[in-house]
Amino acid sequence: METQIREPSHESFRANLPRRHVVSKIWRAVFRVSTVVGIVALILLILNICNRSFGYVAVESPFNLESQSLQGVPLEELPKEELLALLEENVSRGTFRRLDREKPFEQRSQEEVYVLLIAEVGEPKIVKTWTLYESLFQRARVFAQAQEEFPDAELRFRSWINWDFITSQLSSEVEKAGIRTAILGSLWTIAITILVAFPLGVGAAVYLEEYAGDNPINRLIQTNINNLAGVPSIIYGMLGLAIFVRSLAAITSGAAFGANGDTAANGRTILSAGLTLALLVLPLLIINAQESIRAVPNSLRQASYALGATKLQTVLAHVLPNAIPGILTGTILSISRAFGETAPLVVVGAATYITLDPSGPFSRFTTLPIQIYQWTSRPQDEYRHLAGAAILVLLILLLSLNAFAIILRNRYSRRF
Amino acid sequence: MEIQIDRELNSQADVSGAHLKEPLDLRRRARLLETLIESWLFFSGAISILTTMGIVYVLGRESLLFFASKQVSLLEFFTKTQWQPQIGHFGILPLLNATLLTTFFAMLIAIPLGMSVAIYLSEYASMRTRNLIKPILEILAGVPTVVYGYFALTFMTPLLRTIFGDNIVQIYNTASAGIVMGILILPLITSMSEDALSAVPRSLREAAYAMGATRLEVGIKIVVPAALSGIAAAVIVGISRAVGETMIVALAAGAGPNFTFNPFEAAETMTGHIVRISGGDISYATIDYNSLFAIALVLFFMTLSLNLISQRIVRHFREVYE
């Protein structure tokens, strides 16, 4: 009787088994492929950036100085009119007009025009760029194309990321443009962010973990912090624009302190940017610091109280020293988030084009991500290469920050 | 006699009180310092409340100014399909539509991929694979969004154009921005879902294995339902993140409001519009300036309610196992 009942179910179980195993295997493959897709995305991202950061460029001096001097008369001795004609021929009309506006050509001497000609035309110009992929795998095509389109040009392999790129300031010329101003701007802004956010964040975390009783106000603060962590960064930008840039312009532009900051900045300064970013990272920093403080075992606090220490003494001498590696790690991670933040700073009013290094909290600013944004949003290929190189610098900086945080965590974290 | 004794006792108490005077003073001073520092700590905590109040005040005030203007009516703001401040058309629908379109594409990528990776990590992967993949996801999450914007513009858009043809796919389009946004949100959904899946106790899995279930059946029929609240919360947080994401859409989705459902056309999202307009030289107290705050207010309410829903789901539907 019993076997009769078991037998059919057993059979259907058997019959189903291969199908179930096949389905299971198919889905395992799907899950695996998804994971691989995620990894491939990261690899593609990095390859794409490297692809634009290196590659062949065709460099051309449209005005070949040596061949000109071979025509009998050396270039320096040509009359001014001919030099002017050469200049007009070889620079764009806009540049020519700009030069005329700076100082009318009638007022310039022959020597001045000659210097101008050398500076504007004599410098080699990048006329065409190729990506790393093209440079490596389609070399023949690159060479043929260069030969055909730019017969006078010299083909060179260029690393867009190089020492000059990091140390020179912004320029409208692709060959000379660098990111020094942007890096300094980023560092200034982040310094202010840390100065403001770290004491406030640790203070709030200590308050919530050590002092706050379970009452409505404290619960509200806690919920509020969790909600603030989910507010889009651009909203913080709007807040910064209305409060720091507009309402507190007297303070953020430095006028209230008699600082002779850039008068054109009117509140759109490093100080405003730093404060905005500080508000942005504060919730993250508090949540991280709270976790580290919570991880300090209660026995330590009780031992301290038993010896007659006050609450403050307990916090300062026992809780914080034990929580500080975790707090620092959390701080570094929040700061690296602020370092890559772009949108709020665009809203707060980063300068679109400055070549002046920031000199203090009251200067106008640009930061590395903003520079990347501006270069990327230009349609010309050359700027995409510059943006790619700047992204490499940014990613290397961020990776080293994160690596530092991980080392800190592994080295000093204690387990109780 | 008794009274005398009492007095004696009192005087003794006085003497002992005088003796204790010094340590008592010390304690009082320490308490003063503690109150001072305690109030600083409370102030730090209260800053977060001030921030929220600041956001609500600023967005509310400027939006009120915007809606108080004669050019704008609240009804038109939510129903008109044109956003052209120059000629007085303020309908948020094209911007909202583009935001929803990019969010949809992001979720189309991020939800299936994120869930699959989470299930793979928690149910299938060995310890070694997990230790290899989790840092990769963390790196992916730590890349600044402007870099993703660059990726969308210089890789995803050309890819889409090669697949679908140059005349169908515009240089700026919402599909490319949405797909890359999905890659950005993938680590967020993965890590939140994975936490939820890992929190399901082993005993449930072992019971299912004992009944002869395959690995897939354990994963899909036992673990995922048990962790559903956490997964739903992850998805909603992901949507909220996608709605508020700015730099990818600012770079890759296009400039200029455009009411379209075609994902291969350029269309500007709410965040993209705010960034583009405020990035230029904008003068205060103009209707353009105020309109940005009205958009930001809508954005703020959208993300806030999504976040609140996500928190509520976690709190109310969480299965608690001992």
For the cut 60, the answer to whether the pLDDT of residue B228 exceeds it is yes
Q: How confident is the model at residue A345 (pLDDT cuts 50, 70, 90)?
A: very high
Q: How confident is the model at residue B246 (pLDDT cuts 50, 70, 90)?
A: very high
Cα-to-chain-centroid distance, residue B12: 67
> What's the mean per-residue pLDDT of chain B?
85
* Mean pLDDT along residues B78-89: 81
Which of B 134-193 lie inside 8 A of A, CB atoms?
Answer: 136-137, 139-140, 142-151, 153-155, 183, 186-187, 190
Domains assigned to chain A:
57-158 (no CATH), 180-412 (1.10.3720.10)
> What's the mean per-residue pLDDT of chain A?
83
Tokens for A351, please give them: 């300068």
Closest CA to A326 of A317, A316, A334, A338: A334
For the cut 70, the answer to whether the pLDDT of residue A240 exceeds it is yes
Interacting residues of A175 by C-beta distance below 8 A, sequence separation 6+: A123, A124, A125, A126
* Mean pLDDT along residues A143-158: 80
Query: Which residue in B150, B190, B299 has the most chain A C-beta atoms within 10 A of its own C-beta, making it the best mutation to test that interface?
Result: B150
Written as one letter, the residue type at B211 is M
The pLDDT, as a whole number, for residue A83 is 74
Tokens for A334, please give them: 């929040």
pLDDT tens digits, A255-298: 777 665 555 567 788 999 999 999 999 999 999 999 999 999 99
Q: Which residue has the tokens 């939510």?
A: B78
Percent above pLDDT 90 for chain A: 34
Q: Between A146 and B64, whose confidence is greater? A: B64
For the cut 60, the answer to whether the pLDDT of residue A168 exceeds it is yes
Q: How confident is the model at residue B8 (pLDDT cuts 50, 70, 90)?
A: very low
CA distance A390 to A398: 12
Q: Are residues A207 and B44, on separate chains, in Cβ contact within 8 Å?
A: yes
CA distance A141 to A135: 9
The pLDDT, as a whole number, for residue B248 is 94
| B78-317: in CATH 3.40.960.10 | no
Would you call A126 helix, strand, or coil by DSSP?
A: strand
Strands (E), chain B: 83-84, 89-90
Q: Between A405 and B22, whose confidence is greater? A: A405
**Within an 8 Å CB–CB cutoff, is residue B271 touching chain A?**
yes
pLDDT tens digits, A176-222: 788 888 999 999 999 999 999 999 999 999 999 988 888 888 888 98
Q: For chain B, give the number of residues.
A: 322
Give yes or no for a contact between A224 and A204, defined as CB atoms under 8 angstroms apart: no
The pTM (predicted TM-score) of the whole model is 0.85
pLDDT tens digits, B26-83: 555 557 777 888 888 889 988 999 999 999 999 999 999 888 888 788 888 888 888 8
CA distance A60 to A150: 8
**Within an 8 Å CB–CB cutoff, is residue B320 touching chain A?**
no
User: ipTM for the complex?
Assistant: 0.86
Q: How confident is the model at residue A75 (pLDDT cuts 50, 70, 90)?
A: low
pLDDT tens digits, A91-137: 667 677 777 777 777 777 777 777 777 666 666 777 788 888 888 88
**Residue A234 zone, left/alpha/beta (φ > 0; ψ -120 to 50; rest):** alpha
CA distance A223 to A391: 36
* Mean pLDDT along residues A33-50: 91
CA distance B273 to A377: 14
Strands A154-159, B83-84: pairing is unpaired
CA distance A42 to A52: 16
Domain residue limits, chain B: 1-68, 78-317
Would you call B143 helix, strand, or coil by DSSP?
A: coil
Q: Are residues A343 and B279, on separate chains, in Cβ contact within 8 Å?
A: no
H helix runs in A127-179, sequence order? 132-137, 139-149, 163-167
Q: Which residue has the tokens 């976790």?
A: A291
For the cut 80, the answer to whether the pLDDT of residue B4 exceeds it is no
CA distance A52 to A387: 8
